[in-house]
Structure 1
Amino acid sequence: MSWFTEGSDHEGYVVCVFADGMYGAGGKHMQISLMTPDGNTIWENDNEPDSAAWRPPSQVVGWKVACSCEPHRKHVILDELWTRVWDPAEEDLTRRRIYAGGTSSDDATYVSDREDLEPLFIDQWHLHIAPDLHLHTISTLGDQLKKIETQLDDAVAAARADGLSWDKIGRAFGITRQGARKRWDKQATDSTD
């Protein structure tokens, strides 16, 4: 499972962590596809039936949230580790300790599908993408503001063309007559330069 947010060129998801520092994501029944820390998948060699491109879920020691960051053309694996525990009584989500089945279970592969864990993973991912989301919001609102200012300028020009006074225009906008004239009267602005 992965997550996208409008206005963000990021895709968040969970990767499995192995004891030797390798990562894994996706796969097939009882096999997890390996990937390097920079997000490159290690492809299976068709000539080798026991290719090192796959590992069993029993070898997963934890999980991390990862992100494919398109604006930066990079893959990021976030620092916080969710540690695997082997006894359900030891699970403690506040300490990032997750039980994902015994050694014969495939649950470690699908830990991101757990409804109680997904919001916790997404919260971590949101902290990572927050700066880009803020910039997207600023850009979007800036574009909207420019359009509204153009519409306002056109409305004031139309009102003046129909003979409305600076006093009425100023009151409609919530400023003084002098403020309205200073803001929109090109001739008044040009004569004060």
Structure 2
Amino acid sequence: MGWISSDNEHEGWAACVAPDGRLSSSSSGEGMLIEGVSGRYKRDKLLPDYEIVPDAEMIGWRGACNCGWQGEMWQRVASPADADFSRRRGYVPMEGFADASREVEDAIHEEWKAHIAPSEAILGVAAAAREHSQAGQRLDKTVAAAKAAGASWADIGRAVGISRQSAHERWADKQ
């Protein structure tokens, strides 16, 4: 399961880590699909630039993002007794799929959200700037309408919270 940022610029996921450090991008019924050809594993028939690494050989997980960001490593341990969330050690049985546990995946998702937080915040800044510009345009139009209707610069200034002179300086040339 992956995650998409609000601006669609970042796609993140909890990637399985192969013994050589390469990250999975997907999986098949035979194992994890790992980009690159080491010659150690069977090549995928549909994606010839990918190898299929058996789930049992996956050594852990880390957050990955299409922008190139990678989170810290979460080590896969062989028994539930060795699992220690505080030390980034998670247990998933060696038989079956190597996907991260829900707890580890949730922690990786939080790390990825911290990674994209600046770009998500910029989206808020851009939205506020658009709203500010639109509000400024509405204000200019309503001031012009008020002036055309006979309102004084003192009345307009009072409505906006500025002086008569400031209102005149700001909008007189926009009439």
Normalising TM by the smaller chain, what interval? 0.7 to 0.9
Say if 2:148 is the partner of 1:134.
no
The counterpart of 2:171, out of the listed 184, 190, 193, is: 184
TM-score computed with the length of structure 2 as normaliser: 0.85
8 Å contact kept, 2:71–2:111: no
1:72 is matched with none
2:80 is matched with 88
Distance 2:45 2:29 in 1: 18
Alignment of 1:12-91 (within 5 A): 12-36=12-36, 44-45=44-45, 53-69=51-67, 76-91=68-83
Distance 2:146 2:75 in 1: 67
Runs of 4+ with >4 A deviation = none
Cα-to-partner distance string for 1:123-169 (whole Å, 9 max, x where unaligned): 21122212222222222211221111011100000000000111111
**How many pairs are equivalent?**
169
8 Å contact kept, 1:15–1:63: yes
RMSD between aligned alpha carbons?
2.5
Say if 2:137 is the partner of 1:150.
yes
Identity of aligned residues (%): 33
Question: Cα distance, 1:79 vs. partner?
Answer: 4.1
The counterpart of 2:158, out of the listed 171, 176, 188, is: 171
Distance 1:124 1:179 in 2: 49
Question: Cα distance, 1:44 vs. partner?
Answer: 1.6
Cα distance change, pair 187–149 in 1 and its aligned pair in 2 (3 A): closer
Cα distance change, pair 172–52 in 1 and its aligned pair in 2 (3 A): closer
8 Å contact kept, 1:8–1:136: no
